[in-house]
Amino acid sequence: MSFSSSARTPRNPTQPQGETIAAYATYLEAQRAVAHLADKDFPVQLVTIVGTDLRMVERVTGRLSYPRAALGGFLTGAWLGLFVGLLLTLFSTDASSSPMFSAILIGGAFGMLFSVVTYSLTRRRRDFTSTSQIVASSYALLCRAEQANKARNLLREIGGVQSGWPARPVTTTSSSGPPAAQPPAAEAPSVPPERTEPPSAPPSPPSEQPAPPPAP
């Protein structure tokens, strides 16, 4: 198992290969789809879960104060002291005295001191507690091309199946041969331009001549 997983995982970051066989909105749905393929005896080592549009989500859990910081530090240190106390108890030759209780107290005290000092240094910048998580908007299932159709047929029972090949454009062909040539459009008869004549000058008024003198 370890040899197959190490051989499949690349050493350098590479892009996933394969056809998209399904897509889901949450990681639980993608995990359930892979489990369904495993139940059907499908070679799940050919399947890859790819999360798209990754986002880092930080959820604020509450306001941080000195008592809360001290309590959190004490619990963390107490767990560490418990582990050290167990080791000391296992390798201790004196069965009458057990360092378990003292190790828990010492670990809790150091944890509380460290947490209070850390909070006092970052109190102005971060006065809240939160949890961080990386989530994706959708999760796609990829599979090798030789087993992609089989995986799609198995996943039709739970839904989310997608085709990995792009859709081809639909082309329509006419069975009657090449299209017939259309007659050229009839040209409109040309109209000769109208001839415009310059307006005639108005007639000049008759000139008045002097009457001849009477005869003697």
- Reported as a single tens digit per residue, the pLDDT across 156-169 is 988 888 875 543 44
When mean pLDDT is compared across 45-54, 134-143, 186-195, the lowest value belongs to 186-195
Do 57 and 188 form a contact (C-beta atoms < 8 A)?
no
> Based on the domain organization, do 83 and 121 belong to the same domain?
yes
Give the pLDDT band (50/70/90) at residue 124: confident
> Based on the domain organization, do 121 and 142 belong to the same domain?
no
Q: What is the average pLDDT value for the chain, to the nearest integer?
A: 77
Asked, for residue 51, whether it belongs to a domain, the answer is: yes
Give the pLDDT of residue 136: 92
Tell me which H or E stretch contains 111.
helix 100-121
> Based on the domain organization, do 112 and 149 belong to the same domain?
no
> Based on the domain organization, do 147 and 114 belong to the same domain?
no
Asked, for residue 25, whether it belongs to a domain, the answer is: yes
Asked, for residue 80, whether it belongs to a domain, the answer is: yes
Higher pLDDT, 12 or 172: 12
Asked, for residue 204, whether it belongs to a domain, the answer is: no
User: Looking at the predicted structure, is the pLDDT value of residue 138 above 80?
Assistant: yes
Number of structural domains found in the chain: 2
Higher pLDDT, 171 or 202: 202
Asked, for residue 165, whether it belongs to a domain, the answer is: no
> Based on the domain organization, do 93 and 145 belong to the same domain?
no
Q: Which of 108, 126, 144 is the last residue of a domain?
A: 126
pTM of the model: 0.52
> Based on the domain organization, do 50 and 83 belong to the same domain?
no
Do 42 and 154 form a contact (C-beta atoms < 8 A)?
yes
Do 64 and 129 form a contact (C-beta atoms < 8 A)?
yes
> Based on the domain organization, do 119 and 16 belong to the same domain?
no
Q: What is the mean pLDDT of residues 53-76?
A: 89
- Name the residue range of residue 31's domain: 11-56+136-155
Give the pLDDT of residue 2: 42
Chain centroid offset of residue 16 CA: 16
Asked, for residue 100, whether it belongs to a domain, the answer is: yes
> Based on the domain organization, do 31 and 82 belong to the same domain?
no
User: Looking at the predicted structure, is the pLDDT value of residue 171 above 50?
Assistant: no
Asked, for residue 89, whether it belongs to a domain, the answer is: yes
> Based on the domain organization, do 120 and 146 belong to the same domain?
no
CATH number of the domain encompassing residue 24: 3.30.70
Higher pLDDT, 184 or 127: 127
Q: What DSSP string describes 112-153? A: HHHHHHHHHHSTTT--EEEEEEEEEEEEEEEE-GGGHHHHHH
Asked, for residue 198, whether it belongs to a domain, the answer is: no
> Based on the domain organization, do 122 and 69 belong to the same domain?
yes
